[in-house]
Structure 1
């Protein structure tokens, strides 16, 4: 099969490799569409890959091509989304349903070969079927949607609050949509890119604020009547937005860090005093998993996609064929060159 194999920093080679062999509990998925995740960028353009060579890719949809001897719940020809986490299912964390905290996990597309290929092997338990009312392109975005929903479920979001979303990237725009579905009083998206903010408006943001504008603090204070936001979702992984979340939070707010930082963070004593004085709750959110594995986030995403309550098409920026994957990464190397999700399309 053809696969995009990462051999070293900035060294992706599209070449022929062997089709994965199946264990008895696994299925072989013919990949139709796969995404490039923000977490893939430091693996390709930096030194974050766990080992070389490796086939990356963990956001994907496809069709079941072959099944192992012990597989009973999916069949050849099923359209499936793949959940990339491979927890051990036997440690204390897994037995308590905390699969993302498994210390013995593997991960499709970072620890073992993933979906930047014509075929990928996954455990049967990691396959979530979907019907023809959902396109393969939409289904490839189920995994990042689950990341967004997981963060809101983690803070037990119940609606009725002013919600701030810091970062208008893919996860931020998905978090926006889920906050609206789950009953937010209003949602304000903060970003420094006007195109992203325009997309946020099209996807239902009640307010958008460019945080490079002079006086932007007055804008959000007017929205919340000076009280701040009851829910703050940080999705950019930026040191600036992580610090900003302390200032935006209302008294007794819930603040959730979904974004993954790539540099050291420093919080001064005044910001920490804000956390103490406001008594807001701060938590991190990691991946998209719950019990029963892989978690309700996956089925809920497919349900609301089918109901046309989620809009993934607005988030998709460009599609490339597998053989042209290096062209996609040329866009990432250009400042401001990527305005949404890039897909690798094998249709």
Structure 2
């Protein structure tokens, strides 16, 4: 016993960063947590081997584990590579071994290959809430449970304003980063309050807003959001989301006649660099480092869509493009700030969403901030 204590003290002398607390925190012990689906799940924490059921879950993992976000990830789905290539390039430059991280293909609401999962021996598998139905059909959770591999459901997409912060707390708990999780949540509250407090005080008239979802990804018109996700962001930013009146769920589609009849005063197009999915498409390559001349030119095309013929926004050029991944990340407070600035430029003249996102990067992410997440044709935004 004495010899072991002396050995530990020698190691601490050689590495001052090592502490008894760190030794203790690295030791795993079973804890029971409640995931976003309301399931009680026991995991060995802090988890050391995480399998990401969606690559974009890295946005949060990196916020909680900034020094080396790959330290605990054993495999991931390849969607970040294809859906957000600019961010992937940033992480690849900072962490070159990302290129060798085992990756698998699949859809947002689909299954993960169970054999590949078993090979990685994860402490936990993180799945999106919308994959729950498919997993129940094939007893995926039960099969992994027999091998003592727990699954947790998280959500940034369907009810982000309700589920993002519980998701942050859940991952903070299983990773042993609870204090860090609370710091992120406090930052989010402060950023959101810079919009909601002003609107509560002033109560301005709300412009009618149509959000075109995944603009340029498909030729169909007009995909949009109901009362959740970007639909909720619009309301928090002081607008009235047209989709909330007509769509019963988070995601849906209106016909062009419905859009024209609603006569939106503002049109917001969510888009991104989707060259991997739609080579040479009408999408707007928004994201870190996007060229504003290119994004503005591509946004111009949307003003010519037949669904917008004669609407108020076409006459005033209140057309805006915003990074689609705000719909599926812990960064939606940036989208709310940006929308508020477009809808109420006088009220939010001093609000700078770029500065807010840059500060978040400095405090919580291992990559530098690069602007390029939004573009606008309106004179007030310029």
Q: What TM-score, normalized by structure 2, do the two folds share?
A: 0.29
Q: What TM-score, normalized by structure 1, do the two folds share?
A: 0.32
Which of the two has greater helix per residue? Answer: 2
Which of the two has greater strand per residue? Answer: 1
